[in-house]
Structure 1
């Protein structure tokens, strides 16, 4: 058994974790794994461990699961297209969609400042938490548990393919703007927080005639992509 959390004495927290277990359809043997998976790095309480290490593992577990099923689902597709599909399917945006389906945002353990800034709806945070929960399931129950519980959330996306808007949202948005005879979207860093080894960038996307959109990411590129995805989703530009 992998022990990550020193202890958890909160009845309220245990109730939150139990609700997540119900939505997952799985009861953890080591509930500290799930607690850590739902704890943001902004929490500095020495009694808890955040999701960073679990996210690292979950990213790899998810990639393997999706890659295996892409190979099975598309036997005639070449490596280049498989890689492109994989990239979109394991993107932070896709993970955030699954996190929203599992209602992870309301049970995330965040610092007060992160909560006030909208952390529970932040796509980057939700995507990280989803990957961390996948790792927690893997460590607690093995790959078979991950496939049984998590794969159903990805199979429809695998079968349907990946929208181009998710694969390359900045290009998708720029081409759409050109068709509307609008200037290209402008991206500007308006904030940076966190330590030098793990910064969080706040990006502002401006497009003439539309409300400014703010998004965050762990690099300038990730923040720009998150902003483009946010604009695309806000205005329904990913619809066929």
Structure 2
């Protein structure tokens, strides 16, 4: 999963506060870009309001995004859990837990937030702004969770699912979190449970110079090729071959 480099406009340089008109324009464009229109835009604004902004503007402590963050964390856990449960029917409880943790951890949420330019909308106090708060990983991860909480309160679980289907689930399908998944073990369990026979992994190709090798692996069940995988190591290639085999078997 690639991480986008934050824009230079979010550097530690001082930045004047947005006017009300500028904020309205920015949040309107943000919603249009996501194809989402909040019924209660106060929830949207609150999702992007950091406690430092609340403190400097003498607002109520509950006006920051921390309560929404709490709710969004739970909504993410539920929706991601349900998606993984349905998608990976042969994955054990322990493996599902490990994969979910990789998806909802701070580094992953920061990548999602960067991809959608969440940092551009965060309302910060001057001190937090001037010390680089706009690109601080923990802050961005919290904002992403708060946005999910606000979206859930405003429009319900179905719209949250639609948002995740567009911006988060594709990352899972692309294998962005495959480093925490043991596809070979899953495939072995599937084959043993169905009494299909013995798996055979074969490295069929090696390309590239010694310092930048790429391997191609095929996995067979008897004489039937179930999957093909590529990787920078034999182990990675075999894992990807097993992943393709699982997709093939689950589609039957």
On whether the aligned pair clears a TM of 0.5, the verdict is yes
Coarse TM-score class (shorter-chain normalised): 0.5 to 0.7
Instruction: Provide the residue aligned with 1:91 in structure 2.
Output: 105
Cα separation, partners in 2 of 1:65 and 1:103, compared to 1, 3 Å? same
In terms of Rg, which structure is larger?
2
Greater per-residue helix proportion: 2
4+ long deviations beyond 6 Å: none
CA distance in 2 between counterparts of 1:30 and 1:136 reads 9
2:158 is paired with a residue of what secondary structure?
helix
Does residue 69 (structure 1) correspond to residue 93 (structure 2)? The answer is no
Assess, with a 3 A threshold, how the Cα gap between structure 1 residues 163 and 123 changes in structure 2: closer, same or farther.
farther
SS of 1:21 mapped into structure 2: helix
Deviations 1:83-113 (A, max 9, x none): 0001010111111111111111011100111
Report the equivalent of 1:41. 51
1:131 corresponding residue in structure 2:
145
Distance 2:42 2:152 in 1: 14
Distance in 1 (CA, whole Å) between partners of 2:142 and 2:111 is 11
Shift of residue 24, structure 1, vs aligned partner: 1.8
For the residue of structure 2 that corresponds to 1:150, the secondary structure is helix
2:21 equivalent to 1:11: yes
Deviation by residue 1:11-43 (Cα, 9 ceiling, x = unmatched): 222112112212221111100000000011111
Gaps of 5+ in 1: 1-8, 166-239
What root-mean-square deviation, in Å, do the aligned CA atoms of Structure 1 and Structure 2 show?
Answer: 1.8
2:52 partner SS:
coil
**Match in the other structure for 1:3:** none
Offset of 1:114 from its aligned partner? Answer: 0.8
Structure-1-length-normalised TM-score: 0.62
Is structure 2 residue 90 aligned with structure 1 residue 80? Answer: no
In the alignment, the residues of structure 1 paired with residue 49 and residue 150 of structure 2 have an alpha-carbon distance, to the nearest angstrom, of 12
TM-score where L is the length of structure 2? 0.59
2:120 is aligned to 106
Please give the residue correspondences for 1:1-240 in structure 2 after superposition, counting only pairs within 5 Å: 10-43=20-53, 44=55, 45-47=57-59, 49-159=63-173, 160=175, 162=177, 164=179
The size of the alignment, in residue pairs, is: 158
Gaps of 5+ in 2: 1-18, 181-235, 237-252
